[in-house]
Amino acid sequence: MSLPRSEYPRPQWVRDQWLCLNGTWEFEIDNDNNGLERGLVNRHLDKSIIVPFCPESELSGIGFTGFMKAVWYRKEIEIPPKWVDKKILLHFQAVDYDATVWINGINAGSHRGGWTGFTIDLRNFASADQKIVITVRARDDMKNAMPRGKQSMELQNHDCVYTRTTGIWQTVWLEAVSEIYLRRPKITPFENKSFLIEQASDGDPEGLRVKVTLKDTNGKIAEKISEFNCFKTAVFSIAVPENKIRLWSSQDPFLYDLEFELINQQSKVIDSAKSYAGLREIKIEGKKVKINGKSIFQRLVLDQGYYPDGIMTAPNEEALIRDIQISLEAGFNGTRLHQKVFEERFLYHCDRLGYLVWGEFGDWGLTNGLIDEGYNQPGAAIVAQWMEVLERDYSHPAIIGWCPLNELLQVIEDRYTFLNDVMKALFWITKGYDKTRPVIDVSGFSHRVFETDIYDSHLYVQDPELFSKMMGGLKNSKPFINDECGCNINSQMTGRTVSLPYRGQPYFVSEFGGIWWNQEAALKAQNDTGNRNESWGYGDRSKTIDEFYKRFEGLCSVLLKNPDMFGYCYTQLTDVFQEQNGIYNFDRSLKFDMAKIWAVQQQKAAIEVF
C-alpha cells in the first residue's frame, strides 16, 4: 500500500536523504487531557489513524467531528542503516495546536501553533539502523484563545466556519543531514538582475564556505562562493548574466535552479541542497501595484483550502494542482489564501504556474472575546507563529503581498488594548523581515497602522448599482471604509471611527461577491420547502442561475472599470460545507458555465495601461 501524501514536503529546499512517515499510526482521543498522567507516553494506543489526515476527516479512518481537547499518536520506526554518521531530524509540517513529542518515552521537544512546522533533533535519541518509538500529544482546547482560522467553536458548522482540524494534518518525515548543515536560505530577487542570498548554517561553520550555483534550462550560468560571518551567516549576491535574464510573471513563470553546497577548504562537500527562485519585482507607484513595472489587474479569488474528505488537508497532490487550474480556467490570475497557512507544495505549484498569492495568517480565534479582559491574551504567541510563516514562505516568487490579520475590529477611542499592540507588531515585523512586498495591516474593518501599504475593504452588497455608488468615492480619495460592526456601511455614516484616514494608498476590495447559489436549494426555495440552515451565503440567494450571471458581471465590472482600483478578490473559489457561494461546488465539479465566468473577468481593466 502506497503512503498517503508521500511527495517531498519542502520543495524549495530539497535534500536526497529523507523518509516519509505518513501512513498508519496508533491513535487515541484524550478528552480529559490527562493522558500523560494515565501513562499514554509508554503504552500502545487504542485506535489507528492514517497520517497526515486529521481525526475529523474521512480520510483519517476516524471521522470523529466532536470536540477533542487532546489526541495522542504513536509510531515505531527504524532509522535507515545507510544514514551512518548523519544527524537525524524529525520534521512535523503542521500539528494543531500545542504539540509535545516524546522519543522512547523521553520528552524531546514541543511546539505551539497549528499553521507551521517544527523540527526535533534526534541526535540524543537515535542513529542509523536503530528503532525508536515516536509519541505525540496534540492539545487543541477550543475554549482557549488561539489563532484557529475558520474552525468552528461550536459543535456544528455554521455560517462561514467549518469542521475543526485537530492534531497532525501535514506530513511527518525524517531527514538525514551532516553534523554541520545549511539552514534554509532567504532568497531575494534584486532589481530583476540578481539574487541576494542570506545563508545561515546550523553548527559552527568556521573554516567552511557556501558555494551557490545558478542554473537555467540549459545548465550553469553563474557561481558564487562566500564566507560565513561571525553570526554563522553568509550574505552575498549572485548576478544573473544579462543574456540570461528571464523575469517571473503570470505569463511566463520562469524559475531558476539554485544548488547550495557547504564546502571545506579542500572543496569537499559537507552538505548540499537544491532550491529555486524567480526574478520579479513588486513596486507601489501611487495607487498602482506594479509587477515587473506593469500594472496587472489582480483578479484574485478567495481560497480557503478545505476539502470534503480531508478537511484542511488535500487528499493528494493532484488536488492542490487542480485548485489552481480551475481558478485559472475561471479567469482569475491569483488568490488570497484565506484564514489558513497553506502547505508548501501548494505554494510550489503557484510558483511554477505563475499564480499570484497574497499570504495570510489564520488569526481568527486570537481574541475569542477576550480583547478587554486582560487575561489569556496570546499576543506574543501570534507574533512568534507569524514569524515562522514569514521565514518559511519568504522566498516564494508567487507571493506578492502579506496580510497577517483579517477583519479584526478595534474602534478608535480613549483606551488602548493589547489588540492595538498586536496589529502594530505584526505589521512592523512583517515590514522589517520583508522589504520587497506590500503589507496590509488588517484586511477589512480596522486599518490601524497609518503606514499600511495597502488600503482595502470587504463589501458584500449584492446590488451592482448600489455597489458602484459605494465605490464611487475612491476617485476623490474618499473610499468605502467598513464600519465598526463589519456591516458594510461607510463609517462616516455611523459617527464612530474604526480606521485611520485613507492617504492615497493602492486600494482594492479584498472580499466581495459571495453570491449565494445552490441549484438544489434554489428549487426547494421555489417550492417553499428549502431549509435555510442547509445552505448559507451572503445577501439574498439568487433565484435563478441567470440572475447569478447578471449579478456576477455587474459586481466585477464595477471594479474592473475603476481606474483607481488595482485588483479585487471574489468570494470564493469553491463552496465550503454549508457556505455555498463558490464558483465551483465543494467537490470541485462544475457549478456554472466557465466560459461566461472567464469572459466577464477578461474585460480589460481600467488600470491596465502599460
Residues of the chain with CATH 2.60.40.10: 193-280
* Residue 610: C-alpha distances to residues 122, 291, 292, 579 (Å): 55, 11, 11, 39
Q: What pLDDT score was predicted for residue 127?
A: 84
Q: What pLDDT score was predicted for residue 496?
A: 58
Q: What pLDDT score was predicted for residue 183?
A: 97
Task: Scan for cell 514569524, then name that residue.
Answer: 387
User: E strands of 481-604, at which residues?
Assistant: 507-513, 565-571
Rounded CA separation 312/137 (Å): 20
Q: What pLDDT score was predicted for residue 490?
A: 42
CATH code reported for the domain at 193-280: 2.60.40.10
Helix (H, G, I), strand (E, B) or coil at 28: strand
Contact 253, 272 (CB under 8 A): no
The phi and psi torsions of 551 (rounded to 5 degrees) equal: -65, -45
Tell me whether the omega of the peptide bond preceding residue 572 falls within 30 degrees of 0, making it cis. Answer: yes
Q: What pLDDT score was predicted for residue 366?
A: 76
HEC-encoded secondary structure of 247-313: EECCCCECCEEEEEEEECCCCCEEEEEEEEECECCEEEECCEEEECCECCCEEEEEECCCECCCECC
CATH code reported for the domain at 292-516+552-601: 3.20.20.80
Contact 439, 505 (CB under 8 A): no
**Residues in the chain where the model's pLDDT stays below 50:** 369-376, 484-495, 529-532
Side chain identity, residue 77? I
Residues of the chain with CATH 3.20.20.80: 292-516+552-601
Rounded CA separation 580/516 (Å): 6
What would the pLDDT profile of 466-516 be if each residue is shown by its tens digit? 999 999 999 999 998 886 434 444 444 344 567 788 999 999 999 999 999
Architecture of domain 18-177: Sandwich (2.60)
Contact 49, 24 (CB under 8 A): yes
Instruction: Check the CA dihedral 575-576-581-582 and report its sign.
Output: negative
Rounded CA separation 163/161 (Å): 7
Q: What pLDDT score was predicted for residue 377?
A: 53
Take residue 597 and report the three cell numbers written for it: 465566468
Rounded CA separation 113/440 (Å): 22
Residues of the chain with CATH 2.60.120.260: 18-177
Helix (H, G, I), strand (E, B) or coil at 4: coil
The residues, ordered by sequence, that sit 6+ positions from 436 with a Cβ below 8 Å of its Cβ are: 188, 189, 281, 282
The residues, ordered by sequence, that sit 6+ positions from 218 with a Cβ below 8 Å of its Cβ are: none
> Residues in the chain, how many?
610
Side chain identity, residue 183? R
Rounded CA separation 279/193 (Å): 7
Rounded CA separation 458/464 (Å): 15
Rounded CA separation 68/164 (Å): 10
